[in-house]
């Protein structure tokens, strides 16, 4: 079974240190969908998932409802849930949201950033230089961005930003596999970090907006080509 195959590995190594079974199932499924372990369009059969997780159908149902609210799964009444499809239009949608949220997060965070934060960001850039694995690269990229936003002091804004960084990751997987990492991305990361170190908020916000925008643009072009072909 395509679903169980990759997922059961995730389930096996997932620490069930969650307080309820529902939380455990939701977190693991979300990870699986965002990381691409379960492909878009895959039907999420309740019974099958329940068996994989070793629980009854009920916590699975509640978890699926939460995933629906996060736009990671689509419900069709009496026909079940499927993993949300990916499309060029949706990729552009997520890109637009990131272009709106991330400059705001950075602007709020910048004054509070410590030297340690900036050093950690620099270290993450260095790690990305030598990384080939797409999944790991996505995680490093996400951590780099979130490190810069961490001092915004706006929990909702940060949660929303991270959620859409994760959603973008899911998309970027497809691009990574075909084209490799976007070469200019690292240059942009370095320029962004330099602006943050200089405390130049306007420049930093402009850079992050351009950075996200270019990534989204290239992704959209790639996906449109994929849909056309």
Partner DNA sequence: TGCCAGGATATTGGATCCAATCTATCACCA
Partner DNA sequence: TGGTGATAGATTGGATCCAATATCCTGGCA
Q: Which is nearer to DNA, 5 or 47 (CB)?
A: 47
State which residue, 61 or 197, has the beta carbon closest to DNA: 61
- Residue 200: contacted member of its own copies, DNA, none (CB under 5 to 8 Å, by partner type): none
Under the criterion CB under 7 A, does residue 80 sit at the interface with DNA?
yes
Among the listed ranges 41-49, 99-107, 142-150, 194-202, the one in contact with its own copies (CB under 8 A) is 99-107
For the record, the structure tokens of 129 come out as 């230089």
Using the rule CB under 8 A, is 125 a contact of its own copies? no
With H, G, I as helix, E, B as strand and everything else as coil, classify residue 183: coil
Question: Nearer to its own copies by C-beta: 113 or 140?
Answer: 113
Say what the alpha-carbon torsion angle 152, 154, 155, 160 is, to the nearest 10 degrees. -90
Measured distance CA(79)–CA(111) in Å, rounded = 50
**Residue 125 contact, options its own copies, DNA, none, Cβ 5-8 Å cut-off depending on partner type:** none
Of positions 36, 59, 91, 103, contacts DNA by CB under 7 A: 59
By CB under 8 A, is residue 74 in contact with its own copies? no
What are the phi and psi torsion angles at 55 (to 5°)? Answer: -135, 180
Does residue 197 belong to the site contacting its own copies (CB under 8 A)?
no
Is position 2 an interface residue for DNA (rule: CB under 7 A)?
Answer: no
Distances (CA, A) of 131 to 53, 172, 209: 32, 15, 24
Alpha-carbon distances, residue 89 vs 44, 137, 223 (angstroms): 23, 24, 9
Q: Which of 52, 44, 3 is closest to 24 using CA atoms?
A: 52
Query: Quick count: other Cβ atoms within 10 Å of Cβ 190?
Result: 12
Distance CA 154, CA 77 (A): 36
CB of 77 to DNA, least distance (A): 5
Residues of this chain, 8-37, that bind its own copies according to CB under 8 A: 19-20, 22-23
Binding-site ranges for its own copies (CB under 8 A) = 19-20, 22-23, 61-63, 65-66, 68-71, 77, 90, 92-94, 96-97, 99-101, 103-104, 108, 154-157, 160
């Amino acid at each position: 079974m395509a679903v169980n195959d990759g997922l059961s590995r995730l389930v096996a190594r997932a620490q069930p240190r969650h307080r309820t079974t529902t939380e455990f199932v939701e977190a693991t499924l979300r990870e699986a969908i965002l990381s691409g372990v379960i492909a878009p369009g895959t039907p999420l059969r309740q019974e099958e998932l329940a068996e994989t997780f070793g629980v009854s159908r009920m916590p699975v149902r509640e978890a699926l409802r939460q995933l629906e609210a996060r736009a990671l799964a689509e419900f069709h009444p009496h026909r079940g849930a499927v993993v949300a499809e990916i499309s060029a239009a949706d990729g552009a949608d997520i890109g637009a949201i990131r272009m709106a949220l991330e400059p705001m997060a950075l602007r709020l965070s910048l004054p509070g950033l410590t030297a340690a934060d900036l050093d950690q960001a620099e270290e993450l850039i260095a790690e990305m230089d030598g990384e080939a694995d797409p999944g790991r690269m996505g995680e490093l990229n996400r951590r780099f961005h979130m490190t810069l936003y961490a001092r915004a002091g706006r929990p909702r804004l940060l949660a929303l930003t991270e959620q859409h960084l994760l959603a973008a990751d899911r998309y970027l997987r497809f691009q990574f596999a075909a084209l490799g990492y976007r070469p200019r991305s690292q240059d942009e990361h370095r320029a962004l970090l330099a602006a943050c170190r200089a405390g130049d908020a306007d420049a930093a916000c402009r850079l992050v907006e351009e950075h996200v925008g270019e990534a989204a643009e290239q992704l959209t072009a790639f996906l449109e080509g994929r849909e056309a072909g």
